Chains A and B, each alone.
Chain A
């Protein structure tokens, strides 16, 4: 695969090219200006850059798109984070009277990181991901996207691949940007079902009544459970894995199932036994009757990093930023084609820079330069680098997002 050609040491050479020819500055600026309705919205936005040798600079801000371009082309940041819109220009925060420099607004954001699932995935751990566990991200996006739209009424949601082991969501509605810390925290808690650290064995406990949000989330999990958990993760296969699952089952049911599993070895059949036992419990006991659903949720339900979502001033990696370790560009994900998204096909900076120098047959460089002027610039980039699924669509999704916000704000 071409992306395996990426070498972090080449970043100093690739980044200038990326920022001069490929980074979609005009769409980026248009997004963050939100129609220019609120005065100084872009000017008061905080950016932070991680430069070469891990030098980290905060409180960067820019007056115009041009200034943003020039600075980024000068500094060639390894990583770009986007923060809040403040009461004053972040770059001048030291001149402001102490206490009056405040974060006022920011998109509602979510960060889902595969490492938070280490206790429930057997294929990988830590920073590694594979096609088997990527399903967890698919499930997460489907559940959260539906809730953000149907339950909370948020229309403008941008999902982005983080570049290595997770996804981010940017909710850009005006109402979302104006949410207080308390509101963000409440939304996050509403969306959280998996609770507890290493010291907690049973991380999901369901009680009556089962809220419609939970029912709808379970529907999504059930769509994927058989293939993902029983097959790909072999949940009911290895002794170790089965033990972990049975630890989540009430004691009386546990001993019964342990016995049955001595005889029954097939994963699907084993899961069926669990389902039947749960059904039996529901008609008799008051407690512990939902353990089948609780298991599914503990193994599949999205795990959010609450601290990322709660703070108005929290900085999050920018879309179209490069991931220094993998070289992959943080590209938007097309939710309508979610099952086709493949993180391993996401273009790396080395790939797209390489293709810049090598014009494809039938496409002149000049045509590409022209395309940049228009809103299809994203489209052109994706045409050049797209090989994996969703490449072209990324551009359209990104562009689709922006105009609607304009209309909202007027």
Chain B
């Protein structure tokens, strides 16, 4: 079975040498036979690992001591390779270590099969693998890093001393922690800016005529970029070989369950369509909406308008709580007409995008409401926007004022601000939930605005219907894939009991997280 093409850069490295270091670029697929049970175990355990990487990435600043400790303990617990202790050279070779590296290698490639299918899955997988690689690579000392680069054929050009002297001041001012002495002592690499995007994005590097001048200490970012690009290309190739893989009945059920599992509840299936009437929305926004949606609703009522980012975030949320397409069109139209938009213009300019949200236009993807992670991490608001996560994107002073207006107690506000300071945005929102619902402890772990709504409704006596939705099985991002899953669920039931047990394990793992 072919996975991806051979990369032009790396020559064929024998498997034994491939595991020479505890991290790798995953350039070559594994070429051995393994048992089905090992296949399953490896895949599930790597998925647990990547899920941990994701959670840690949102609740901690990456690469801080706390982050490293937690990730390392998970690597140990799941029997994956991690940084060698300097004095314990013996543990770096030998059968135990070899087994870990082999597992790392194989499990990565199995997950490629599961996560290459759609844009969203690919993006998620790449993000976690890059974060994991970053963790491993930064644990190496510079000498080891250089050795790793050379072994993987990454030769970047260094600049001459003359050029360094000429650019000294700019180099000092572009990189943090670079003094005049360091400039002259250490190597600087001249790399096309497209290969150093992470540094460019944060303006942590000097740019001249399209080239980034990178100190050795920052070469990590370059390497990560390279890793990301390679993985992205590989996934695209893998997707093409997928039909062959899916024809194997032993593998298809597991691969489907794996790619469904990561998302968890995504509120894409509307169970409560039409149960909410439009005139309930104002009162619901105060009682059961998370702060981000309450803010968007208020802005909409005040300005009779929302920009694109706000329309997407709020519109999809409303879809998730059960508004039908007809209701949504009516809702937005009624509000926009009160502003500067006349009925005609609404039908021409805005109705299309609302229908698009419901999957009735364009490529007919039924878009899913944004999770907290998505709201916090992507598309930050700019001037004139009201979307985003208020705990993440609002000035603390303004956030405080807003909470005061919403009658949150002063001590409650302080607790929230403390959490915001520690960058625990979802926990801050959960605290907001507890304070506005007058309870001590919310019994759930918040990661989705629609989850907030459902939990709130449950608490306020929403009724049986809503509870049933909470227990619904988990599905993937796209409807087309979920149609496939009903078929595979039958196959799974027929084939292995083991498989069903394993995936139950997986689901409960995610619910605990």
Q: Interface residues, chain A, CB within 8 Å of chain B?
A: 54-56, 98, 115-119, 150-154, 175, 179-180, 182-183, 185-187, 189-190, 194-203, 209-215, 303, 305-307
Contacts and interface: CB of A to CB of B under 8 A. Distances in A.
For the complex of A and B, 3 pairs with smallest distance between CB atoms: A153-B210, A197-B381, A153-B209
B208 A151 contact: yes
B174 A211 contact: yes
Contact of A179 (B176, B194, B385, B393): B194
A199 B173 contact: no
B384 A199 contact: no
Contacts of B172: 209
Contacts of B263: none
B386 to A, nearest CB: 7
A186 B209 contact: no
Given A195-B382, A213-B207, A189 B201 contact: yes
Contacts of B197: 182-183, 186
A187 B207 CA distance: 11
B170 interface: yes
B433 interface: no
Given A196-B383, A200-B393, 16 more contacts: A54-B344, A115-B384, A116-B382, A151-B209, A153-B209, A153-B210, A153-B211, A195-B382, A197-B385, A197-B386, A199-B390, A209-B174, A212-B173, A212-B174, A214-B203, A307-B308
A198 B348 contact: no
Contact of B201 (A119, A185, A303): A185
B449 to A, nearest CB: 17
Nearest to B207: A151
Nearest to B363: A98
Contacts of A202: 395
Nearest to B197: A186
Contacts of B203: 189-190, 211, 213-214
A123 B394 CA distance: 27
B206 interface: yes
Contact of B393 (A199, A209, A214): A199
Given A183-B194, A199-B398, A150 B209 contact: yes
Nearest to B390: A199
A150 B382 contact: no
Nearest to A54: B348
Interface of B: 170, 172-176, 193-194, 197-198, 200-203, 206-211, 308, 344-345, 348-349, 363, 379-386, 388, 390, 393-395, 397-399
A196 B344 CA distance: 33
Contact of A175 (B210, B390, B398, B399): B210
A210 B348 contact: no
A215 B173 CA distance: 10
A200 B431 CA distance: 22
A303 B209 contact: no
A199 B206 CA distance: 32
A196 B382 contact: yes
A200 B173 contact: no
A211 B173 contact: yes
A214 B382 CA distance: 20
Given A118-B384, A152-B207, A187-B200, A200 B348 contact: no
Contact of A152 (B201, B210, B386): B210
Given A115-B384, A197-B388, A200-B395, A154 B173 contact: no
Given A179-B194, A211-B203, A212-B206, A198 B386 contact: yes
Contacts of B173: 209-212, 215
Contact of B384 (A116, A150, A175, A185): A116
Contacts of B349: 54
Contacts of B393: 196-197, 199-200
Contact of A198 (B176, B208, B380, B384): B384
Contacts of B385: 197-198
Nearest to B175: A209
A204 to B, nearest CB: 12
Most interface-central of A194, A213, A305 (chain B CB within 10 A): A213
Given A151-B207, A212-B170, A201 B397 contact: yes
Contacts of A119: 383
B201 A209 contact: no
A199 B209 contact: no
A78 to B, nearest CB: 13
A377 B306 CA distance: 44
A158 to B, nearest CB: 18
A209 B171 CA distance: 10
A362 to B, nearest CB: 47
Nearest to B349: A54
A154 B210 CA distance: 7
Contacts of A98: 363
A190 B207 CA distance: 10
24 contacts: A54-B344, A54-B349, A55-B348, A56-B348, A183-B197, A185-B201, A186-B201, A190-B203, A194-B383, A195-B382, A196-B382, A196-B395, A197-B383, A198-B383, A198-B384, A201-B395, A209-B174, A211-B173, A211-B206, A212-B170, A212-B174, A212-B206, A303-B382, A305-B382
A306 B380 CA distance: 10
A115 to B, nearest CB: 7
B278 to A, nearest CB: 26
Contacts of A151: 207-210
Contact of A189 (B175, B202, B209, B383): B202
A55 B345 CA distance: 11
A238 to B, nearest CB: 21
A254 B200 CA distance: 34
Nearest to A115: B384
Contacts of A189: 200-203
Contacts of B208: 150-151, 153
A306 B200 contact: no
